[in-house]
A and B are shown apart, each in its own frame.
Chain A
């Protein structure tokens, strides 16, 4: 099985900050890497697919990059509605999720 390790597991930041979350795969997954945002009590929402493609309707302050085993999700300027948990997901071989990164208000 392909394992995904996100870092950090939790993060405190302020509105306006630039935030970077990383996701490392245990083996190469090309660009088969997606990012989701989940708020408490809500359904996950797709942000980025294929490592760097922005899902329709998602604000442009979200961006993704990477290929192979190392990937990043960047939020260029945090907004109040961005405080949530973020998950990476690989679909290169079946499907696995990272453990999540909880983004909290500082």
Chain B
């Protein structure tokens, strides 16, 4: 069965950095776009970034552009999100998710999330 397991979250000071990881299993990882979605405490879902199967296509939300980078290692079935220059409004649960295209792009599986807290 499909599993996505995130790690790497934690408490970091403003201006600091974190690297989030997501290990996938149960499917042919390199065939899928992967995305990171975040949810601030008590708030809605916010798109962060996506990466194509062979890393040829990446995209970022305006709110993180220039501060976050996304990468993947298909040999390790892993996708990563590097968070730099962190701000208090980056505090959120960060979900790793799988994207599928069937008439439309959508997310069919989500990880359980990893919590990032930015505070001094």
Contact = CB atoms under 8 A, between A and B. Distances in A.
A31 interface: yes
Main secondary structure, interface of B, reads strand
Determine the interface band of chain A, counting residues with CB < 8 A from chain B.
Answer: 20 to 34
A81 B17 CA distance: 39
Interface in B14-70: 35, 44-47, 50, 59, 61-62
Interface of A: 1, 31-34, 36, 38, 43-44, 46, 49-51, 53, 55, 87, 89, 91, 94-100
A93 to B, nearest CB: 10
Interface residues of B, number: 21
A64 to B, nearest CB: 11
A74 to B, nearest CB: 19
Contact of A51 (B62, B104, B110, B112): B104
